[in-house]
Structure 1
Amino acid sequence: MRIDVLNIFSLPEFFLSLPVQTPVAAPQQNNDNINIVLLGKTGVGKSSSGNTILRENRFTCGRSLSAFTSISSVERSLIDRRSVSVIDTPGFFCTNLSHEELSREFARSVFLSAPGVHAFLFVVPFGRFTKQEEDILKKVKGVFGKDVLKHVIILFTYGDECIRERIQTEIDGNEVVRKVVQSCQGYHVFNNKDLNDRQQVTDLLQTIDRMTERNQGYYTNEMYEWAQKTTWEKFWKILKDFFYAVIDFFQNLANSFDNSHWRQRMTPYMRL
């Protein structure tokens, strides 16, 4: 197949479609640590869910006209003999922050999760799911990259107000909710009014463990940096990596070439 060089440079999608090595989930090396990032709108119960996980009121929460969380912050605790870090983030569409400030805080949430995020919990009040939640999930992909959905679990709050045996049936009967849940790695339900219900936290950590095992690792800072690159930045990086790979191929080919063998075979002809 003949490739027109001019067409290649006018279509960066050509190289973006090549099977190149882009950042992938880093393997989990320490099973005793787990990092969780809370995502969602303001007032959906992110901070309360963080307190439920940690079993202490570490994050400020409550009813207010303004968001309590304006910067990403991390709190840690020992849970089931494991070190668990919870990173609370400002709400999507937070009116207290500009778009640039909000983007910076999301970047900080990944930095605070070093070496990586085991799970993003997309917090949604059960029974209050709207089309806007579907739009937020698109924004999550826009911020963290499309591969982030491999690390996202829906966390329904207000578990005390729903009949748990009917939750799956209700999800299946709502096209918008079903579509969002299917695009992520399942869901979990929290009752944030009962900090002493530790089984709900244990079950969540087990769900995260199974997801991390399926992903063969966690979401890394390199994956976030790749998601922030523009199409042209990705194009030039892939182009550079492609040509470096070609150079390495021919260098290895030259190094493996047996000169002595061919010199010996050509000696009789050199005497003619």
Structure 2
Amino acid sequence: MELLVLLVGKTGNGKSSTGNAILATPQFEVSTGILSATEHTQLAESVRQHHNEEIKLQVVDFPDVTCDTAEEAALKEVQLCTTLTYPYHSATCVVVRADVRFTPEEYATYRKTRELLGEHMFGNMVVVFTMGDKLPADYTNNFGEQLKQANAELKQVLKDADGRYVILGGSPGNDDTNQTPDKDRQTGVTQLLDIVLSLHNDSVNIKTLRAVLLGACGSGKTATGNSVLYPNMGLFAVGDTCSKATATFRGFQLEILDTPGINSKDCENPELSKNVRDWFSNFETGPDVVLFVANANERFRDEDHEIFKTCQRVIGDDFNKHVIIVFAGGEGINEGKTMEEKIKKAPLSLKDLLEKAENGYVVFDNVTSSATERLLQRNRLLKNMAELKDANMGKPLAMKQQETSSSWWGILRCTII
């Protein structure tokens, strides 16, 4: 089971401590002073046991951007958060302190956060009350009755959550997840995970995406394929034969085909046409997307352009409608520069390629150790791929017909048989 939990709430309410409690291992920095430890949207991952079941957890900690944050910076965090949680998440935890009064100002923070992230991000919502260990015993044992006397703002938040809430011990600035959690804390986390599991929707429509990787030798195809399949790393190995891997993510069933690298001599060889057809026959009805990989670290080579044009010629007019350019080696782009700046100074061959590739490009850092960056770039590409499939009305790439057949798929199947 894989769960993704989003944490939101006012600065100082204990979001990061809550995230560490959910993960069972402290990964988020917790503030010990007046400043927030969460300045930017961040992701942490872990695997933990829950009722004798192993759960893979991803927790996204969203900062309080409702005050003292410039609009542009706030929107950047929103985009970061929505990309990390694409295409959907299991639950949104609104973190509230149990030991202080819920004020109209805090309610305004909650409403503004909903407005920024979008109402759809709060469909599976649960209220997490922190600082439960600061409450008198009679309050803790009778917390439901206390909530009946809460102000209208807190009652509205609980109504938005359909009455779902849990109480956790521990406090902001006192991350006790390094120590053995007390029984009450363990109980609260168990209750929270039970709620998240009940909210997690395994029945979400799964979108199948079939993609083939094409590119020159040494372009970074294989590393890119492994990055797309994150966190299932290492499924592809560099080789001279096709390699196909599948993986299931939230909302997606991926089928990725890594092909042997092409060089400029191959472009002059009539065998290439047959090889490409053989590669594509690994998909019963053809791929949805072609990921054409080029190296971002090097000056764009004429060889890449020739390979692109050759694939375009072999596959036909449908190629441009189904191809996305992937610049691998994004880690090598000089600090302070962007791919956009490199493209402005790029040779005409690269500009021609980008013009023909109707679906734009993405940049991949295949060596980053950052879980946040790996998930971000993977989700960006998945979103592009899903939108591309929709734009093509779900129709897979169809190779141009051979003169001797009404359908190359049909003749290829006959050949194989």
TM-score normalized by the length of structure 1: 0.63
Shift of 1:205: 0.6
| Counterpart mapping for 1:1-272 below 5 A | 32-55=207-230, 56-61=233-238, 68=239, 70-93=240-263, 99=269, 102-128=272-298, 129-162=300-333, 163=335, 166-174=338-346, 175-184=348-357, 185-194=359-368, 196=371, 197-220=374-397, 223-224=398-399, 227-230=400-403
Q: Distance in 2 between matches of 1:212 and 1:49?
A: 20
Q: CA deviation at 1:43?
A: 1.2
Per-residue Cα deviation, 1:93-130 (whole angstroms, up to 9, x for no partner) = 3889x946644442233222223311101100014211
The 1-side partners of 2:295 and 2:315 are apart by 22
1:149 positional shift: 1.0
Change (3 A) 1:134 1:57: same
SS at match of 2:338: helix
* Deviation by residue 1:10-47 (Cα, 9 ceiling, x = unmatched): xxxxxxxxxxxxxxxxxxxx852111100001111111
State the percentage of identical aligned residues. Answer: 26
Residue aligning to 1:5: none
**Cα–Cα, structure 1 residues 159 and 37, in superposed 2: closer, same or farther, change >3 Å?**
same
- Describe the superposition over 1:58-102 as per-residue Cα deviations: whole angstroms up to 9, x where unpaired: 1113xxxxxx2x222210011234210110111123889x94664
Equivalent position amino acid for 1:178 in 2 = K
Q: Distance in 2 between matches of 1:125 and 1:77?
A: 25
| CA distance in 2 between partners of 1:211 and 1:42 (Å) | 26
Residues 94 and 168 of structure 1: CA distance in aligned 2, closer, same or farther (over 3 Å): closer
Change (3 A) 1:203 1:131: same
Contact 2:297-2:330 at 8 Å conserved across structures: no
Contact residue 213 and residue 290 of structure 2 kept, 8 A: yes
Tell me how far apart the structure 1 counterparts of residues 256 and 401 of structure 2 sit (CA, whole Å): 23
- Spell out, residue by residue over 1:171-221, the C-alpha distance to the aligned partner (whole angstroms, 9 max, x if none): 13323222211110200111111363111001001011122222223334x
* Matched AA of 1:106: V
Kindly indicate whether structure 1 or structure 2 has the higher relative contact order, using CA contacts under 8 Å at least 6 residues apart. Answer: 1
1: CA distance, partners of 2:344 / 2:264? 30
CA distance in 1 between partners of 2:336 and 2:256 (Å):
25
TM-score under structure 2 normalisation?
A: 0.42
Higher helix proportion, which one?
Answer: 1
Which residue in the other structure is 1:10 paired with? none
The whole-number CA distance in structure 2 between the counterparts of 1:167 and 1:94 is 25
CA-atom RMSD, angstroms?
A: 2.7
Q: How has the CA–CA distance of structure 1 residues 60 and 211 changed in structure 2, closer, same or farther, with 3 Å as cutoff?
A: same
Amino acid at match of 1:46: K
Unaligned runs of 5+ in 2: 1-204, 407-417
C-alpha deviation, 1:229, in angstroms: 1.4
What's the offset of the Cα at 1:140? 0.6
Matched AA of 2:377: Q
Shift in CA distance, 113/94, structure 1 to aligned 2, threshold 3 Å = farther
Is the strand fraction higher in 1 or 2?
2
Question: Using the alignment, how far apart are the partners of 1:46 and 1:207 within structure 2?
Answer: 18
What's the CA shift for 1:165?
5.8
In the alignment, residue 245 of structure 2 is paired with which amino acid? E
Partner AA of 1:73 in structure 2: S
Superimposed CA distance per residue, residues 113-164 of structure 1 (whole angstroms, 9 cap, x where no aligned partner)? 2233111011000142112211111101122112211101110001111158
